[in-house]
Amino acid sequence: MRAGTAVLTVDAAGMRAQNSGLLLNMIWRERQISRAEIARRTELSPSTVSAIVADLEQAGLVRSIGAGVSRGGRRPTLIGFCDEAFSLVGVELGASHVTVVLTDLRGRVRTQSKASHAVRGDPEGSLQKAKELIQECLEAERVPRRSVVGMGVAVPSPVHPAAPGKMSPLILPAWKHVDVKDWFQTTFDMPVFVDNDANLGALSECFWGAGSGGEDLTYIKLATGIGAGHIIHGDVYRGAGGTAGEIGHIPVDSNGPLCVCGLRGCLVTLIGSTALTERARELMGTRGRKGPTVRDLVEGARTGDAAAKQIIDGMGAYLGIAVGGLLNLLNPAIVVLGGEISSVGEMLLDPLRASVRQRALSVSMAETRIVTSTLGERAIAVGAATLVLQAALRDRSLFPTQTVGRTA
Amino acid sequence: MRAGTAVLTVDAAGMRAQNSGLLLNMIWRERQISRAEIARRTELSPSTVSAIVADLEQAGLVRSIGAGVSRGGRRPTLIGFCDEAFSLVGVELGASHVTVVLTDLRGRVRTQSKASHAVRGDPEGSLQKAKELIQECLEAERVPRRSVVGMGVAVPSPVHPAAPGKMSPLILPAWKHVDVKDWFQTTFDMPVFVDNDANLGALSECFWGAGSGGEDLTYIKLATGIGAGHIIHGDVYRGAGGTAGEIGHIPVDSNGPLCVCGLRGCLVTLIGSTALTERARELMGTRGRKGPTVRDLVEGARTGDAAAKQIIDGMGAYLGIAVGGLLNLLNPAIVVLGGEISSVGEMLLDPLRASVRQRALSVSMAETRIVTSTLGERAIAVGAATLVLQAALRDRSLFPTQTVGRTA
DNA sequence: TGGTATTTCTTCGTCAATCGAACGAACTCG
DNA sequence: CGAGTTCGTTCGATTGACGAAGAAATACCA
């Protein structure tokens, strides 16, 4: 009994908000565009476009960046987005580390800082650590508090849409009594957005990586845990309870080892970092006291180590079972693999694609590109910052109204 | 590099269109509501609401339906939707039959007609059959052509968003040179919408069945083929290539029989109608010349036949593997089972839920309701009609402008 | 029973945002 | 160097929503 999308009503002011938002997005996307061109594309009248652009210029969001090429008459003045007018803070609370980035409005990292920390078991300490790192970043760039739009936080837990600050008691039991969103909001007094790490990896890829230009992709984070994030119609899709994308607990081998979740042969027990390094210890021998790491595995694969290659082949085969199901069920335009191990590139993609081909309809396979991420280890923290950007590009009022415009 | 939803720009007329559309939806959803209540909920001014309601009344879409209860002052005049003002045509091209329904704007079937036909191999004959049935329905109710909003067509093939009239050459090779959408459009000269049968079953459930009230569900059609349809944020999700929901070809048993798609142990080879009836023949013996049908199986299960129960148990177990993956990947709010066999209800749901519990995270499991459809065999044809309704509720201009208003 | 407060809905003047036409500025092309 | 084109702005007209005020209908209370 549901019907058309429940949009908000519009009055005269809402009309302006909607149109100016649309223009802001267009200018952001196009990087440089003339008023005349905007008028042609939006079918708004030239006078309206001029008025709105003046508004945006006043707010310090866009500015003139010289003249374009003539189309047979007066040369157009190009309008560009002020990428550096505001800053975004992105925080990644990983399983065992905290990463903070300070980016501009084009996802470029201005400062970053990172610290190892046992996040899972120590909420208070982790938050304190995050606070220090954030302050460090803000001070390093002498960023005035006024110019920070907001803060995005990536957490290693599903996030329920109705209570975005609460962690899953199953995944992070120690965090039971903490509300992450509230804590950051009260500590830093700015808008805070919280989401799952894989979801934010997906958002990052959609904005800045392999999926840029598209609106639908799935990102798979290969690390200690295996998680996926879906972007559907340009938005993170969280599912009814926020657990969409929990690909790590898909059973792929009914004879596999027992998983913490209670099931047997979950993907994560077979290709999670722990499983990989254990297998590496068996096949490649111990390196130093602590045995081989994922980094060693990547290194081994690069230098042609047969054992490393074998491990990654096996990983591709298992992962293919889950990805095959994904293609049949969701048919995403792109599947992006992230996490440290994904840096081996084709070495993982080849066996993966072969495995998927055995399990997915050729049609869905043909429509889907499977690639590895090129954004590196900051992808998730940047994705967190991107969550703020996405919100602000939708709702202009999130950009602080600044008196002295810093432009770029 | 994508940002805020690419909405259209708004001028004064667009403002009215948006607001009147919103109001129309609200009246449709609420069935009866006063102008004052609309004004409170939409935060539109009372004068504006009155003006828009007058518009809608003029167009024959809504009408006064008496007075409501007073809240301490003048009694409100309730406005209701004219459910019977227009008609919708829904066509289902099944694997071996053609069904046509004529519904009102509340999904109620006014007339229906159905014929067996070998649809897969005979495009021309099927279309001709459909034409006859449609004309039959239109004449039976003496529906003036003017009052038909449009036609929805369900096809047993994935539908590519970019070419909605073309069938998949893999699934329906004989239909290669036919454009279904074009054919119906030129034959009946009205708006035509085409989609996959499972997608339309899902839409039907979302509007009129188990999912009504919600915006996210997955429907699984259990028949000769096994297909799923996803409703995400109130909309059919088709994926990049239109093959989202091809759950039938998820491999659930690596030792299973070979499937037409080239893989082994696909869900459809294990729990498709053919597999079920074959298994029934083994366990229940032949009934008459042709062996047991799905109907016999349902009947057997109802009357407590042990063999039938065993077959359905097995079906639930296999289906659970696929549904478990679905819950982990997509975390829908509701999973609805459709198709003839689903009428056994709990008999299928029990083993299914047990199987899913072994394969899905308890979190996603807890958030998801798994139920059987109650809409019966017309669900898909009605879903096709609903596709037209959904489009028209979004874009009022799809409703024909009629001079003499037929109301309800 | 009658008066007052409340709620509903309409009327009418005001306001805000867009549009369209006209205009000046800047440029290309022949 | 002039004609024609394109770009951006200015200004009056139009449109739709809003707000205040008023009329109608009803509940509540003395």
pLDDT in tens, A179-204: 999 999 999 999 999 999 999 999 99
Q: What is the mean pLDDT of residues A248-273?
A: 86
Q: What backbone phi and psi angles, to 5 degrees, belong to A382? A: -65, -35
* Residues of chain B contacting A42 with CB distance shorter than 8 Å: 9
A331, B43: Cβ pair inside 8 Å?
no
What pLDDT is recorded for position B286?
Answer: 65
- Tokens representing A260 are 């913490």
Share of residues in chain B with pLDDT > 70 (%): 95
pLDDT category of residue A404 using cuts at 50, 70 and 90 = very low
What pLDDT is recorded for position A406?
Answer: 43
pLDDT category of residue A1 using cuts at 50, 70 and 90 = very low
The minimum CA-CA distance between A57 and chain B, rounded to whole Å, is 20
Ranges A378-387, B120-129, B281-290: which has the least confidence? B281-290
Q: Do B36 and B114 belong to one domain?
A: no
Separation in Å: C19 C1' and B363 CA: 54
Say if CB A336 and CB A218 are below 8 A apart.
yes
Q: Do B195 and B216 belong to one domain?
A: no
Mean pLDDT of chain B: 91
Q: Is A387 in a helix, a strand, or coil?
A: helix
Q: Do A368 and A223 belong to one domain?
A: yes
Pick the more confident residue, B134 or B95: B134
Q: Do A160 and A221 belong to one domain?
A: no
* Residues of chain A contacting B170 with CB distance shorter than 8 Å: 361-363
Q: Do A160 and A128 belong to one domain?
A: yes
Q: What is the mean pLDDT of residues A281-295?
A: 77
In a domain, A334, yes or no: yes
Q: What is the mean pLDDT of residues A292-307?
A: 91
Pick the more confident residue, A256 or A74: A74
Q: Which residues of B15-32 are buried (b: 16+ CB within 10 A; e: fewer)?
A: bbbbbbbbbbbbbbbbee
pLDDT category of residue B292 using cuts at 50, 70 and 90 = confident
* Cα–Cα distance for residue pair A245/B326, rounded to 1 Å: 10
The minimum CA-CA distance between A299 and chain B, rounded to whole Å, is 32
Q: What is the mean pLDDT of residues A317-344?
A: 94
Domain-terminating residue out of B41, B57, B81? B81
Q: Which nucleotide is nearest to A76 (CA to C1')?
A: D7
Q: Which nucleotide is nearest to A47 (CA to C1')?
A: D9
What pLDDT is recorded for position B28?
Answer: 98
The minimum CA-CA distance between B282 and chain A, rounded to whole Å, is 28
Say if CB A68 and CB A82 are below 8 A apart.
no
Q: What is the mean pLDDT of residues B361-384?
A: 88
Q: What is the mean pLDDT of residues A51-73?
A: 97
Q: Do A242 and A331 belong to one domain?
A: yes
pLDDT category of residue A7 using cuts at 50, 70 and 90 = low
* Cα–Cα distance for residue pair A274/A145, rounded to 1 Å: 41
* Residues of chain B contacting A249 with CB distance shorter than 8 Å: 328, 360-361
From the list A10, A249, A328, the residue facing B328 with the nearest CB is: A249
A240, B15: Cβ pair inside 8 Å?
no
In a domain, A6, yes or no: no
Pick the more confident residue, B278 or B261: B278
**Does residue B6 surpass a pLDDT of 60?**
no
* Residues of chain A contacting B213 with CB distance shorter than 8 Å: 1-2
Q: Do B241 and B362 belong to one domain?
A: yes
Q: H/E element holding A140?
A: helix A123-140
Q: Do A95 and A165 belong to one domain?
A: yes
pLDDT category of residue B1 using cuts at 50, 70 and 90 = very low
In a domain, B237, yes or no: yes
Share of residues in chain A with pLDDT > 90 (%): 76
In a domain, B282, yes or no: yes
What pLDDT is recorded for position B289?
Answer: 60
Separation in Å: D6 C1' and B45 CA: 43
Give the distance, in angstroms, between the CA of residue A292 and the centroid of all CA atoms in the same chain.
Answer: 29
Closest chain B residue to A106, measured at CA: B1
Ranges A128-142, A356-370, B57-71: which has the least confidence? A356-370
Ranges A80-94, A175-189, A294-308, B242-256: which has the least confidence? B242-256
The CATH number for B69's domain is 1.10.10.10
Report if CB A75 to strand C is under 7 Å.
yes
Ranges A168-172, A355-359, B359-363: which has the least confidence? B359-363
Q: Do B260 and B357 belong to one domain?
A: yes
Domain-terminating residue out of A52, A81, A110? A81
Q: Do B316 and B253 belong to one domain?
A: yes
Give the tens place of pLDDT for each residue, A108-135: 999 999 999 999 999 999 999 999 999 9
Ranges A301-310, B96-105, B288-297: which has the least confidence? B288-297
The minimum CA-CA distance between B225 and chain A, rounded to whole Å, is 14
Ranges A276-290, B120-134, B314-328: which has the least confidence? A276-290
In a domain, A294, yes or no: yes
The minimum CA-CA distance between B91 and chain A, rounded to whole Å, is 21
In a domain, B403, yes or no: no
A238, B331: Cβ pair inside 8 Å?
yes
Residue B194: Cβ-neighbour burial (10 angstroms; 0-12, 13-18, 19+): buried
Number of domains chain B is built from: 3
Q: Is B186 in a helix, a strand, or coil?
A: helix
What pLDDT is recorded for position B405?
Answer: 43
**Which of A16, A31, A330 to mutate against chain B (most B CBs within 10 Å)?**
A330
Question: Among B289, B239, B31, B141, which residue's Cα sits nearest to residue A214?
Answer: B239
Q: Within A266-305, where are the H helices?
A: 267-271, 273-284, 294-302
Query: Residue B128 sits in which domain range?
Result: 87-201+380-398
Report if CB A310 to strand C is under 7 Å.
no
Q: Do A238 and A196 belong to one domain?
A: no
In a domain, B6, yes or no: no
The CATH number for A270's domain is 3.30.420.40
Ranges A74-88, A389-403, B254-268: which has the least confidence? B254-268
Question: Residues 49-88 of B near strand C (Cβ < 7 Å)?
Answer: 50-51, 53-54, 70-77
In a domain, B360, yes or no: yes
* Cα–Cα distance for residue pair B196/B95, rounded to 1 Å: 12
Domain-terminating residue out of B81, B99, B115? B81
Mean pLDDT of chain A: 92
**Does residue B205 surpass a pLDDT of 50?**
yes
Report if CB A48 to strand C is under 7 Å.
yes
* Residues of chain A contacting B6 with CB distance shorter than 8 Å: 22, 25
From the list A2, A11, A364, the residue facing B243 with the nearest CB is: A364
Q: Which nucleotides of C are covered by protein (CB under 7 A)?
A: 5-13, 15-22, 24-29
**Does residue B404 surpass a pLDDT of 80?**
no
Q: Do A229 and A282 belong to one domain?
A: yes
**Does residue B26 surpass a pLDDT of 70?**
yes
